[in-house]
């Protein structure tokens, strides 16, 4: 399978497309804002004017877009993916979205003899550029194995988590850890500043100890120098945490720390900061 239709060329999607092209795949792309996709022409992608043009006759169709409503529109509309994908194609939603929605896509795809996988990712813009994303996959094992060459072009830690929706559940677990970790490094930076210690020195010190993490290495330095450029948008993190909280509520469990972090970010989004990177949470600790 060498032909791919790719929908969503944002902060992460564009880099993922480039890595697929480098691995020898033929890639057609579609983005609602066409101008965001045009730079990919220079890399060898075909830029399409519609979802139909992007997905018809493709072996694999990959989507990585914004919110569950966007996913529903892209998959279920009359002009959407399931209306125009060929029988036997593989549709892979790499958006972080509702596990229930992933199961719905799987069921409706199966009715059309289309194989569906949910495959959310972790690693941000850096992981997308370096083809080192963690990819958490839900769906049939046979479909997972068939799509492995495409996954390997984009990521390093690629795991089949179980049936449809399980990829999304593991991504929720990932985001729960990220929420606590982000606040931890944020408070560490605020603490060292208050104590008159260089926070860059603190980060250099703890990055190889028990507190080591991706957040320390990547977002810690950005917090120190007030770099709020989005590797991952606050508005998308708010969406992810809300999904996790809803799933937890349905399961009858309470996630108190996640709820506290969600409220902080929710307030930032309401204050007009949804387009900033998640490291901008340090603003909440500024005097």
Active-site residue list: 171
Furthest CA-CA distance within the chain: 63
Q: Looking up tokens 């914004």, which residue turns up? A: 66
Tokens of 38: 């045009």
Instruction: Give me the phi and psi of 40, to 5 degrees please.
Output: -75, -15
C-alpha to C-alpha distance for 43 and 189, rounded to whole angstroms:
39
Instruction: Give me the phi and psi of 80, to 5 degrees please.
Output: -90, -175
C-alpha to C-alpha distance for 76 and 286, rounded to whole angstroms:
44
Closest CA to 62 of 33, 27, 32: 27
Closest CA to 150 of 53, 66, 24, 48: 24
First CA to last CA across the chain, in angstroms? 55
C-alpha to C-alpha distance for 55 and 42, rounded to whole angstroms:
21
């Amino acid at each position: 399978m060498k032909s791919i239709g790719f929908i969503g060329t944002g902060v992460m999607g564009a880099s993922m497309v480039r890595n697929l092209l480098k691995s020898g795949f033929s890639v057609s792309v579609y983005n609602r804002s066409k101008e965001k996709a045009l730079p990919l022409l220079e890399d060898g992608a075909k830029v399409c004017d519609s979802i139909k043009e992007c997905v018809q006759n493709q072996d694999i169709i990959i989507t990585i877009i914004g919110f569950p409503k966007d996913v529903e529109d892209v998959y279920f509309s009359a002009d959407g993916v399931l209306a125009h994908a060929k029988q036997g194609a593989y549709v892979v939603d790499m958006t972080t979205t509702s596990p229930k929605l992933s199961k719905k896509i799987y069921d409706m795809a199966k009715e059309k003899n289309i194989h569906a996988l949910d495959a959310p990712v972790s690693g941000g813009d850096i992981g997308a550029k370096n083809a080192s994303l963690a990819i958490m996959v839900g769906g049939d094992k046979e479909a997972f194995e068939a799509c492995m060459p495409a996954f390997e072009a984009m990521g390093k830690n690629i795991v089949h988590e179980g049936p449809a929706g399980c990829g999304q559940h593991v991504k929720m677990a990932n985001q729960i850890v990220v929420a606590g970790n982000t606040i931890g490094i944020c408070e560490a930076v605020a603490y060292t500043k208050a104590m008159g210690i260089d926070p860059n020195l603190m980060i250099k010190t703890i990055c190889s100890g028990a507190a080591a993490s991706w957040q320390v290495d990547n977002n810690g330095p950005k917090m120190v120098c007030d770099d709020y450029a989005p590797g991952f948008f606050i508005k998308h993190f708010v969406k992810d945490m809300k999904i996790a909280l809803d799933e937890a509520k349905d399961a009858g469990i309470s996630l108190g720390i996640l709820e506290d972090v969600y409220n902080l970010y929710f307030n930032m989004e309401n204050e007009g900061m949804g387009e900033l990177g998640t490291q901008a949470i340090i603003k909440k600790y500024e005097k």
